[in-house]
């Protein structure tokens, strides 16, 4: 037939080695830091900490450590934007090795939830970014096929993923030059969750198209396998209908096609899975009925039977991840498989970037997920096994880690404690590896404190000075609303300004930062995303508004990180607008001055003159994605316009709609056409939809929450429909 299911462990070859390409050699503190970290790895130290000031070349140090250690490496970053930036830098340093990007593939995600107080069920709504999903599959594929692999990931990688053994066992091995039947191959691909496209040969990822004289399938990795130049990522089989020849323009002997989804099951396991789910359903329904919860029992039966019908028919259902325990054959309470399990056992390195943020994220993911799902299980929306579709607990994650390096300009107490315990008893080794000196000789920025009175006028004057020198400005605020208002104010004064916060989609964030570097934007206003890791050497001024408002965003760690955004520019300056100098401000200013003294002493000793950092304007993550996207058609433009109408309609619906219980009609209002049942009683409602009649305030709060949930559900459902129409 020309193809087979491998059914064996295709672990990476041993001859793949990391090779670093860079015109620079380690200098300043870098040689000492690299030597100290590599020595610790060779001595099997489990935890080490690299305290690296902003702009000192921490990524370059990481790359040199990876080269000397020669093991597959996972780098954790606190958010998608910093993960993309790290991936860009490492791709430049390792052009011939596999540098992969693994983050959550949702452009928009709202998990299913139940609000018992208002009896409202909010269904799962998600918009999957197909490009990021492709990069995720590319990451797992590289881990199977290459040892020289670096995966840059967000903390979402500790969430349950399909079993590596099943993913590998269900892969399809094709031999170039062998004879096979396109129809038989298409049938096998359908078992791997590839979808038949009967309408057009212009297929997208995860689809197959059978021609009269052959077949075509688009896989997950562009430029890999037997791929033609015309159809990147596309496997072409032809020309004969019955016995076709696998054609390739590359010098390879075989191709592996991996499943289109990480959650994949073989046909042999399907009956076992269905039986286990039905057994759990019957036991849970009996338990609910025994308690007198007949409504919950009926609800659970209807929802689960509907999922079982889909799994039995096509091997998949909309929320199949909730049955992950049965899919993988795990016992109740056992930890799920995740990206970490795709790495070779105890033969890989973990680097935690911005560890003071990332480590608490690892700690907190499990508990938030657990609380929401316990409510769903209690009220009959999910089986108890849904609780096992979860991220790893903190202890479960760290038990999988053999060696780890924490990297941060402000490491947390937990990281310092773990590193100290590993080095205890060895007086020759420092507890923390410091990286303070910049190869460019640039000093930490000068920090000024100024009165918050008249801060806007003062800031406007400072911005104009930077623009005249073709430099950029970052402004941090405490709230999203303030960030948007400041940005609008600056635009009203004919300045090229933009805002950036968590509601901006991940790929849009990359475009905004790219536009700032390119000079299309002069001022970027944000909240929390302008702290860690942003590498923008054009920024010479960082303005921190409300610097004296003690809290997480104005703690000493946060202030040091924000101050660091100006440390890549020779003219780096930071202005703290405040009414008083808080303890956090004093500690941040003192640490900045300490680092300046060390840097200045090194420059004087080595006769080093600070010079501007010249960094090429590139974004390889966007370069991977944007060329693959077709230009928007007129129809898509109409859909975008319609999506804006949906936004407006949903907002109006929030102000005028009435809530409904989960057992009633789920959509009572149409976001474009308004209320189905006519106008609401505006006399008894305020703008937010809250009743003003005496004695009804408690109920009004519940009604308002219900309206917000229902409006959000309607809006998201309509947007989902628009995305479906696009595809």
Q: Give tens-digit pLDDT for 608-666.
A: 999 887 776 765 555 555 544 443 343 344 444 444 444 444 344 333 333 344 333 33
What's the total number of domains in the chain? 3
- For residues 30 and 58, what is the distance between their CA atoms, to the nearest angstrom? 8
- For residues 533 and 355, what is the distance between their CA atoms, to the nearest angstrom? 11
Report pLDDT for 210.
Answer: 66
Asked whether residue 3 carries a pLDDT value surpassing 60, the answer given is no
Share of the chain above pLDDT 70, in %: 70
- For residues 140 and 338, what is the distance between their CA atoms, to the nearest angstrom? 11
Phi-psi region of 577 (alpha: psi -120 to 50; beta: other; left: phi over 0): beta
Among 222-231, 467-476, 481-490, 550-559, where is mean pLDDT lowest? 222-231
Q: Quick one: 142 and 203 in the same domain?
A: no
Share of the chain above pLDDT 90, in %: 41
Report pLDDT for 244.
Answer: 39
Q: What share of the chain is helix, strand, coil (3-state, %, to 5)?
A: 45, 15, 40
Tell me the pLDDT band of 138, cut-offs 50, 70 and 90.
Answer: confident
Report pLDDT for 116.
Answer: 85
In a domain, 391, yes or no: yes
Chosen domain end from 597, 631, 665: 631
Q: Quick one: 483 and 603 in the same domain?
A: yes
Report pLDDT for 672.
Answer: 32
- Cβ–Cβ contacts within 10 Å for residue 270, how many? 14
Q: Quick one: 133 and 247 in the same domain?
A: no
In a domain, 295, yes or no: no
In a domain, 593, yes or no: yes
Among 316-325, 444-453, 571-580, 679-688, where is mean pLDDT lowest? 679-688
In a domain, 541, yes or no: yes
Burial 191-224 (b: 16+ CB within 10 A, else e): bbbbeebeeeeebebbbbbbeeebbbbbbbbbeb
- For residues 151 and 419, what is the distance between their CA atoms, to the nearest angstrom? 23
**Average pLDDT in the chain:** 77
Tell me the pLDDT band of 215, cut-offs 50, 70 and 90.
Answer: low
Q: Quick one: 491 and 358 in the same domain?
A: no
In a domain, 539, yes or no: yes
Tell me the pLDDT band of 371, cut-offs 50, 70 and 90.
Answer: confident
Task: Encode pLDDT of 301-324 as tens digits.
Answer: 999 999 999 888 877 787 888 898
The domain containing residue 83 runs over which residues? 72-165+338-402
Q: Quick one: 160 and 196 in the same domain?
A: no
The mean pLDDT value for 78-93 works out to: 89
Report pLDDT for 1.
Answer: 44
In a domain, 138, yes or no: yes
Tell me the pLDDT band of 577, cut-offs 50, 70 and 90.
Answer: very high
Report pLDDT for 133.
Answer: 82
- For residues 612 and 147, what is the distance between their CA atoms, to the nearest angstrom? 37
Among 261-275, 393-407, 514-528, 622-636, where is mean pLDDT lowest? 622-636
Report pLDDT for 185.
Answer: 77
Greater model confidence, 130 or 432? 432
Q: Quick one: 149 and 202 in the same domain?
A: no
Q: Are strands 149-154 and 113-115 parallel, antiparallel or unpaired?
A: unpaired
- For residues 667 and 676, what is the distance between their CA atoms, to the nearest angstrom? 10
Q: Quick one: 182 and 160 in the same domain?
A: no
In a domain, 414, yes or no: no
Report pLDDT for 165.
Answer: 67
Task: Tell which residue, 487, 476, 473, 578, has the closest CA to residue 528.
Answer: 476
The mean pLDDT value for 469-483 works out to: 92
Q: Quick one: 195 and 249 in the same domain?
A: yes
Q: Quick one: 195 and 130 in the same domain?
A: no
Among 87-91, 164-168, 316-320, 434-438, where is mean pLDDT lowest? 164-168
Q: Quick one: 484 and 618 in the same domain?
A: yes
Q: Quick one: 198 and 125 in the same domain?
A: no
Chosen domain end from 375, 402, 429: 402
Q: Where are the beta strands (DSSP E) in 467-566?
A: 472-476, 497-500, 523-526, 539-544
Report pLDDT for 108.
Answer: 77
Asked whether residue 256 carries a pLDDT value surpassing 80, the answer given is no
In a domain, 312, yes or no: no
- For residues 316 and 192, what is the distance between their CA atoms, to the nearest angstrom? 11
Chosen domain end from 631, 660, 684: 631
| Bridge partners of residue 159, in order along the sequence | 391
CATH code for position 154: 3.40.50.300
Report pLDDT for 137.
Answer: 85
Q: Quick one: 383 and 460 in the same domain?
A: no
Burial 459-498 (b: 16+ CB within 10 A, else e): beebbeebbeeebbbbbbbbebebbbebbeebeeeebbbb
Number of H helices, E strands in the chain: 20, 28
């Amino acid at each position: 037939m020309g193809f087979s299911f491998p059914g064996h462990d295709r672990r990476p070859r041993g001859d793949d080695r990391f090779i670093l390409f860079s015109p620079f050699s380690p200098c300043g503190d870098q040689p000492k830091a690299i030597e100290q970290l590599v020595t610790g790895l060779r001595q099997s130290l489990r935890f080490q900490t690299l305290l690296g000031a902003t702009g000192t070349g921490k990524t370059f140090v990481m790359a040199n450590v990876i080269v000397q250690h020669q093991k597959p490496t996972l780098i954790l970053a606190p958010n998608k934007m910093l993960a993309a930036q790290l991936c860009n830098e490492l791709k430049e340093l390792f052009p011939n090795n596999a540098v992969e990007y693994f983050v959550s593939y949702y452009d928009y995600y709202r998990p299913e939830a139940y609000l018992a107080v208002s009896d409202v069920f909010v269904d799962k709504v998600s918009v999957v970014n197909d490009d990021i999903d492709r990069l995720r599959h590319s990451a797992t594929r590289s881990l199977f096929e290459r040892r020289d692999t670096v995966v840059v990931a967000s903390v979402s990688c500790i969430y349950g993923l399909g079993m590596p053994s099943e993913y590998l066992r269900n892969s399809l091995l094709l031999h170039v030059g062998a004879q096979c039947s396109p129809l038989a191959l298409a049938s096998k691909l359908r078992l791997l969750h590839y979808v038949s496209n009967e309408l057009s040969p212009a297929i997208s990822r995860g689809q197959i198209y059978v021609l009269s004289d052959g077949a075509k399938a688009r896989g997950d990795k562009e430029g890999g396998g037997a791929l033609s130049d015309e159809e990147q990522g596309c496997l072409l089989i032809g020309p004969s209908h019955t016995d076709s020849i696998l054609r390739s323009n590359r010098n390879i002997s075989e191709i592996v096609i991996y499943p289109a989804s990480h959650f994949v099951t073989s046909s042999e396991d399907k009956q076992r899975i269905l039986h286990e789910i039905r057994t759990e359903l019957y036991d849970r329904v009996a338990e609910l009925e025994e308690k007198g919860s007949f409504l919950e029992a009926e609800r659970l039966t209807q929802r689960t039977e509907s999922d079982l019908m889909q799994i039995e028919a096509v091997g998949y259902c909309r929320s199949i991840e909730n049955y992950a325990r049965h899919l993988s054959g795990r016992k109740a309470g056992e930890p799920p498989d995740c990206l970490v399990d795709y790495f070779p056992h105890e033969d890989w390195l973990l680097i935690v970037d911005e560890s003071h943020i990332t480590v608490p994220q690892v700690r907190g993911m499990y508990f938030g997920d657990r609380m929401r799902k316990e409510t769903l299980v209690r009220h009959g929306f999910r089986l108890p096994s849904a609780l096992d579709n979860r991220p790893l607990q903190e202890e479960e994650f760290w038990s999988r880690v053999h060696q780890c390096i924490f990297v941060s300009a402000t490491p947390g107490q937990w990281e310092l404690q773990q590193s100290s315990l590993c080095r205890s008893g060895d007086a020759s080794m420092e507890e923390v590896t410091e990286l303070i000196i910049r190869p460019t000789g640039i000093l930490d920025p000068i920090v000024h404190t100024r009165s918050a009175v008249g801060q806007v006028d003062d800031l406007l004057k400072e911005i104009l000075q930077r623009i005249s020198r073709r430099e950029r400005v970052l402004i941090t605020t405490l709230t999203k609303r303030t960030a948007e208002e400041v940005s609008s104010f600056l635009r009203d004064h004919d300045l090229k300004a933009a805002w950036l916060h968590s509601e901006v989609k991940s790929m849009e964030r990359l475009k905004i930062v790219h536009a700032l570097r390119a000079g299309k934007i002069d001022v970027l206003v944000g909240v929390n995303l302008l702290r860690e890791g942003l590498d923008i050497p054009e920024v010479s001024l960082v303005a921190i508004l409300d610097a004296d408002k003690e809290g997480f965003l104005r703690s000493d760690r946060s202030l040091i990180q924000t101050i660091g955004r100006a440390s890549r520019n020779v003219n780096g300056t930071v202005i703290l607008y405040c009414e008083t100098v808080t303890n956090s401000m004093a500690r941040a200013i003192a640490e900045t001055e300490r680092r300046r003294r060390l840097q200045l002493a090194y420059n004087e000793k080595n006769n080093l003159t600070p010079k501007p950092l010249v960094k090429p304007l590139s974004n390889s993550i966007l370069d991977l994605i944007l060329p693959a996207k077709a230009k928007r058609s007129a129809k898509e433009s109409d859909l975008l316009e319609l999506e804006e109408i949906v936004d407006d309609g949903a907002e109006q619906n929030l102000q005028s709609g009435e809530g409904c219980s989960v057992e009633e009609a789920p959509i009572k209002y149409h976001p474009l056409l308004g209320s189905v049942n006519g106008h609401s009683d505006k006399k008894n409602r305020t703008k937010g939809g809250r009743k003003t009649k005496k004695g009804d305030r408690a109920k009004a709060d519940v009604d308002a929450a219900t309206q917000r949930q229902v409006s959000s559900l309607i809006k998201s459902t309509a947007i989902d429909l628009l995305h479906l129409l696009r595809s």
